[in-house]
Amino acid sequence: MNAIYPEHVLDHGLNPRNMGLLNPADIESEADNPLCGDHLHLTLLLDEHQRITAVGWHGENCTVTQASASMLGEEIIGMTLDEVRAIGTQDIFDMLGIHLSANRVNCALLPLKTLTVALYGPEEWQKYEADED
């Protein structure tokens, strides 16, 4: 497996950070990747300034989705919702730092999709998808 994924991706995939749902949560969302069956449930806590103070997630996912969710969760803790809006697909690809096949792109982006839809609605995610075309 080391030949497929670099160490940091394996580390996050096998030892994911912020795994486990928050209860209560201020924001909650779920999304699926219909191509492979991955499912992600995301929960967030916000402070009075709309800054993310905690992230929790759970799902049945491949290593790429788990690593992406783990890395994204670490990245957004401490950010405001406006700051999170600036995170794009290239940021996820940069965090992972690996070449992804077309099928794996959807795996890598599932956490960002779940977060974007939760915070800004499906129309905002459609903008990302339009940029990919």
Rounded to a whole number of angstroms, the CA Rg of the chain reads 14
pTM, two decimal places: 0.87
pLDDT value for 3: 55
pLDDT value for 47: 97
pLDDT value for 2: 46
pLDDT value for 40: 95
**DSSP code per residue over 27-73:** EEEEEE-TTT--EEEEEEEE-TTSBEEEEEEEEE--HHHHHHHHHHH
Q: Mean pLDDT in each 10-residue stretch from start to end of the chain (133 residues)?
A: 68 85 95 88 96 94 90 96 92 90 88 93 78 57
The CATH architecture that domain 7-132 belongs to is: Alpha-Beta Complex (3.90)
**Any idea where the domains of the chain sit in the sequence?**
7-132
Distance separating alpha carbons of residues 31 and 41, to the nearest angstrom:
7
